[in-house]
């Protein structure tokens, strides 16, 4: 069911022990990494519920009903594709096929993410082809566009510090709005700034 011209998507991993935040788990253990990831998902959902657009959750393995993503607030789908770029491209393609005019995807591992970042992204698409939220690790936490720019998803080393630079290079002459740079939580040291995660690193 479609209500707005904007679709806000998030990619999540099904929260299972040993299958989420593997880099983080190397530093704090699998159980703690799962707990941190669940807190990050809860934070992401809390941020999204404040935004008045259509929303879609793309699960890594299988759709869950009656989880933190309420069935009456979120469309639910399963990611498909060989790598992150392909999976994101397929999600954007799906959204544009459903006639959304602005499509934005956000990651689900940012404790710094606030509604203002998403609101700025939606607004920026009025004047720009693409909006990107850079992450401190050289990747990005948000990507938005009004038409499918397939070059964005060209093969690259996803999950490395060159992703944002490679993406900007691939996009060439498009008009791009960059949001504030935020901290992506991937390693134990990324937890340091946050009181809520102190117990995992003390």
pLDDT at site 173: 86
Q: Where are the domains of the chain?
A: 6-195
Q: What whole-number distance in Å separates Cα of residue 154 and Cα of residue 171?
A: 10
Residues facing residue 54 across a β-bridge: 7
E strand residue ranges, 27-175: 54-59, 75-78, 102-106, 130-134, 140-145
Average pLDDT over residues 18-46: 94
| DSSP at 68 | S
pLDDT at site 172: 85
Q: Which of 27-31, 90-94, 170-174 has the lowest mean pLDDT?
A: 170-174
Q: How distant, in Å, are the alpha carbons of 3, 55, 97, 142 from that of 102? A: 13, 12, 12, 13
pLDDT tens digits for range 49-75: 989 999 999 999 999 988 999 999 999
pLDDT over threshold 70, residue 188:
yes
pLDDT over threshold 60, residue 1:
no
Structure tokens at 1: 């069911």
6-195 topology per CATH: Spore Coat Polysaccharide Biosynthesis Protein SpsA; Chain A (3.90.550)
Confidence class for position 156, pLDDT limits 50, 70, 90: confident
pLDDT over threshold 80, residue 151:
yes
Residues 6 or more apart from 45 whose CB is under 8 A from it?
Answer: 68, 69
Residue with tokens 């999540």: 12
Confidence class for position 2, pLDDT limits 50, 70, 90: low
Is the distance from CB of 178 to CB of 128 less than 8 angstroms?
A: no
Q: How distant, in Å, are the alpha carbons of 72, 79, 127, 143 from that of 176? A: 33, 26, 9, 10
Q: Whole-prediction pTM value?
A: 0.93
Mean pLDDT of the chain: 93
């Amino acid at each position: 069911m479609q209500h707005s011209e904007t679709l806000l998507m998030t990619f999540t991993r099904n929260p299972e022990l040993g299958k989420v935040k593997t880099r983080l788990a190397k530093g704090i253990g699998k159980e703690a990494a799962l707990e941190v990831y669940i807190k990050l998902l809860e934070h992401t959902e809390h941020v999204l519920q404040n935004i008045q657009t259509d929303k879609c959750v793309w699960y890594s393995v299988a759709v869950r009903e009656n989880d933190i993503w309420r069935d009456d607030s979120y469309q639910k789908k399963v990611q498909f594709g060989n790598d992150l770029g392909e999976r994101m491209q397929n999600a954007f393609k799906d959204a544009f096929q459903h006639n959304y005019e602005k499509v934005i995807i956000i990651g689900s591992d940012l404790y710094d993410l606030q509604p203002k970042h998403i609101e700025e992204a939606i607004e920026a698409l009025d004047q720009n082809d693409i909006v990107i939220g850079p992450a401190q690790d050289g990747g990005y936490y948000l990507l938005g566009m009004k038409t499918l720019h397939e070059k964005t998803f060209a093969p690259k080393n996803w999950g490395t510090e060159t992703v944002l630079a490679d993406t900007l290079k691939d996009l060439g002459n498009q008009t791009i709005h960059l949001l504030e740079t935020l901290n992506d939580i991937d390693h134990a040291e990324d937890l340091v700034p946050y009181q809520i995660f102190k117990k995992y690193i003390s």
